[in-house]
Structure 1
Amino acid sequence: MIKPFKLRKSKAELNSTAGNHLCGMILGNLPQSHLPENFQPRRSNAIADRDILLTQIGLHCNARTDFNDIDLYRNDTVFKNAFGLKTIASEPVFRTRFDDLPGERTHAALRTLNLGLLHNRSFGRVDADGLELVPVDMDVSPFDNSGSSKQGVSFTYKKHDGFAPTFAYIGTEGYMLDCELRPGKQHCQSGTPEAIKRAAQMLRHLGLEGQCLFRLDSGNDAEDNFDPFGKNQFIVKRNLRKESLEQWLALARRVGEKLETREGKNVYTGFVHHLHPGGNEDRPCVPVAFKVTERLVDHDGFELLIPEIEVETYWTNLPCAATTVIDLYHDHGTSEQFHSELKSDLDVERLPSGKLCANRIILLCAMVAFNLLRTLGQEMLRHKHLAPQKIKVQRWRMKTILQNLIYCACRIVRHAGQTILDFGRHSPWFDVLNAVAASFA
């Protein structure tokens, strides 16, 4: 028989999100100039623009997206002190202030803040036959906002109403380099050259120019994308459009290398060097890595009357084997996990505002929060020997970071002019939290 507990309230000040303290420490190490106090003149008693943006970043660090969620943190001592907030706005004020923020200057400030956060990080690299490169994965991942009448919501290629934001992730850990919220009906190639150029400029600020590998899918097979890559390496999957599969098979038999496979299946890989991006012969040729698969017998051993032909081709300037190029592009699929972490773990999909300009700012705030949590997760892995369980992964999902680090309970104790977070007698992750805090102190 289960013995019921008695419930009561006391005067003790408890908190269930003590991990916000670590996010605030990471932010506190960045220059305050990255995020100005106000972007335009305000009344002397008005809440600063910086506090509005930091509040939104803090909400995202707790997987909160709705404006209404701010009421949960208005009396939260840890949340307020961690993010350096003088005042936490009420929900109506918080909602309307996003409409007043100047778009371009706010975007630039948040991107600068995010870049400052990335300056202190090291990025995992991929091996391209001895050439160690930092991957930069760019892609569009639609947000499902079906049933809403928000500005910019329209029919996406995923066959639902929503937005079509573009993202750029850097490193094998999945830090977010840049993002941009776009209307759902906007084609994935529209605005991509500008996004690549902006990402390349960020890489220069990080001191990584010429050390990165851009990876894009076939929706971005356009000649305008190649100049913005600059000195960096790239792999862009080609859109075969109306090209003949039979001609590719004949070409592969002639110039490709045949790989060892099962009986009834022929696979050829190699390079061709005579193709121009966009079919524009005024542009220089770009090497194309290919993989052509011919199936004469199916998996069950039955001969096919008409052979099945599959062709994969990739624009690239990598000086490595075609099989390496293909494997590196397939690894680009890992970025889908990063999209999932943002949309599912942090609940950043149904954006809260009805105005596109406000939602663009909110998505950039989510980018900063995403990198704060990613930094926290990677720092935790540096101290995994202190963890209460064995950790064998190279990267923690956002959900795991939230559950183990952010949602740690503590008691707030005020004594001798100090505020102390008391984690009690048994807090499994305290040693890790303490070590991470010491590394940013």
Structure 2
Amino acid sequence: MPNIKFRASRRTLTSHSGLSIIGQCIEIAGVDSIDGRFPTTLGMRTSDVVKSYLGLLCLGMSDYDAIENFRRDKPFQQLLTLQKVPSAATLRQRLEKLAANDLQARTATWSTTLLSLIEAPITAETTHVCLDIDTFVMDNSNSKKEGVSRTYQKVDGYTPIAAYLGNEGWCLGLELRPGKQHTMKGSNAFLERVLPRAQGLTEHPILLREDSGFDSQAHLALLERQRQAFADEGRRLDYLVKWNPRGSATADRDTWLAVAADYWQELRPGKRQALWTQTVSIHDDNKTEYVVQRVMRLVERTADRDGQLLLEPDYELEGWWTSLDEAPEAVIKRYQAHATHEQFHSEIKTDLDLERLPSGKFATNDLILHLAQLAYNILRLMGQLGMTGELSPVRHPAKRRRLRTVLQELVHRAALVIHKARQIILDFGQDIGRMTVLKTLRSRLRYPRGTPC
């Protein structure tokens, strides 16, 4: 075993050199502008409080006490351009006060500002850029936090709603909800907030995808009105919403079998399916009628995949509300890609350490999720610009990197901090690969368009 000794020196080291890029993104997003709206309190700028917590989230931490490890960490303060680093108590108290003053309403623009100014890549899926909206469960069992209640997954927690744009999964909306709140409650208002953000980021046609929790006549009527509003501006909006049969699949089986009689196709011995499109009239709350189309699929199984015959046929009925003028097979294939957003939920809960929210107050936890939206987009931006293509460190090829991979490869990188000629120099030693990536990112993230930060 080698003879290992330990010693300390006067050199300044950092284990999170990726904060140099995170601080730059926070500046581009315009977080400093809140100081005019929320003035300094007790010598601590509001922007310092918010940027400190954003720094924690971008390091994969969410607990207030984690800030104590950075109060004497000069690189943390300098790379995020902070005048002061708050204590855990100050951080908690100021975030609670900001939540009470509705800072959430201002945070929504930060992500769109960042993505717009940087001209973030937004990849379309075939002809449309997809906008996926869904709720998910955050398990906060065995806690007495405000808003924690029984969720649809039979655990106590919250059911926030999120919106993701493009194949990259840019987060355009992330709002907290009580665990027992139904998916549709407040979803129309959420959609009306998110659509203009998506419209401002891409000129491609937008395809809105949602699961069966959003199946309601009022929601479909809103989608039709939004389609018309887009069309009036020379834009295109389509939607794809999973149908909720609400028991009609069993009650009207004979009716569905009669309709499907002309569409049966055998997939294998003992299994066949019928695909067809039908038009349905719906009404909004004002009794206005809309004619929409629904793609239907009925699957009949008389034997399982191993050839074992069933005692009686098994039927599975599914449907999708859509404005797409495509074949049923193409519509179903487009909806199947909607499942990708489940990974984005997972990254928010695990990679950003937000499964169990830190505050006991609902409004504060809602503010934290709004801040997490920006932190998520910053890390996603670092992954898309710095970890794909030839610039990426040695890893398997991918179109998108998980946030955890960005944290491991780019954020948590050791460097020697050198102050020289009023500059901060990060010395990576022989780690030339990571140095090249961060240097390229620093050059790429210019504001506005070519002007150094």
Q: TM-score range by the shorter chain?
A: over 0.9
| 1:229-248 equivalent positions in 2, closer than 5 A | 229=223, 230-231=226-227, 232-243=237-248, 244-248=252-256
Q: Quote the offset at 1:275 in angstroms.
A: 4.6
SS of the equivalent of 2:289 reads coil
* Comparing 239-248 and 406-415, the one that deviates more: 239-248
For 1:309, the equivalent position in structure 2 comes to 315
1:389 equivalent to 2:394? Answer yes
Q: Which amino acid aligns with 1:106?
A: L
For 2:214, the equivalent position in structure 1 comes to 220
For 1:402, the equivalent position in structure 2 comes to 407
CA distance in 1, matches of 2:352, 2:243: 33
Q: Is this contact kept in 2: 1:59–1:70, CA < 8 A?
A: yes
Q: Which amino acid aligns with 1:16?
A: S
Q: Which amino acid aligns with 2:314?
A: E
Equivalent residue for 2:342, pick from 336, 357, 360: 336
CA distance in 2, matches of 1:198, 1:292: 36
CA distance in 1, matches of 2:34, 2:406: 29
For 1:183, the equivalent position in structure 2 comes to 178
Aligned residue pairs: how many? 430
For 1:36, the equivalent position in structure 2 comes to 34
Q: Is this contact kept in 2: 1:288–1:316, CA < 8 A?
A: yes
* Comparing 288-297 and 59-68, the one that deviates more: 288-297
SS of the equivalent of 2:340 reads helix
CA distance in 1, matches of 2:103, 2:94: 12
Q: Is this contact kept in 1: 2:209–2:239, CA < 8 A?
A: yes
SS of the equivalent of 1:273 reads strand
Runs of 5+ unmatched residues, structure 2: 228-236, 447-453
| 1:125-204 equivalent positions in 2, closer than 5 A | 125-127=124-126, 132-204=127-199
RMSD: 2.1
Deviations 1:223-269, CA, capped at 9 Å, x for gaps: 12124431221111111012123422321223x3x445112211111
SS of the equivalent of 1:72 reads helix
* Comparing 112-121 and 424-433, the one that deviates more: 424-433
| 1:12-411 equivalent positions in 2, closer than 5 A | 12-31=11-30, 35-43=33-41, 46-103=43-100, 105-119=102-116, 120-127=119-126, 132-208=127-203, 211-229=205-223, 230-231=226-227, 232-243=237-248, 244-254=252-262, 256=263, 258-276=264-282, 282-382=288-388, 384-411=389-416
Q: Is this contact kept in 2: 1:39–1:106, CA < 8 A?
A: no
* Comparing 366-375 and 408-417, the one that deviates more: 408-417
Q: Quote the offset at 1:54 in angstroms.
A: 1.4
Q: Is this contact kept in 2: 1:150–1:353, CA < 8 A?
A: yes
Q: Is this contact kept in 2: 1:197–1:228, CA < 8 A?
A: no
Q: Is this contact kept in 2: 1:410–1:422, CA < 8 A?
A: yes
Query: With structure 1 as the length reference, what TM-score do the two structures score?
Result: 0.92
Query: With structure 2 as the length reference, what TM-score do the two structures score?
Result: 0.90
Change (3 A) 1:241 1:95: same
CA distance in 2, matches of 1:281, 1:308: 38
Q: Quote the offset at 1:427 in angstroms.
A: 4.7
SS of the equivalent of 1:326 reads helix
Q: Is this contact kept in 1: 2:29–2:111, CA < 8 A?
A: no
CA distance in 2, matches of 1:8, 1:212: 58
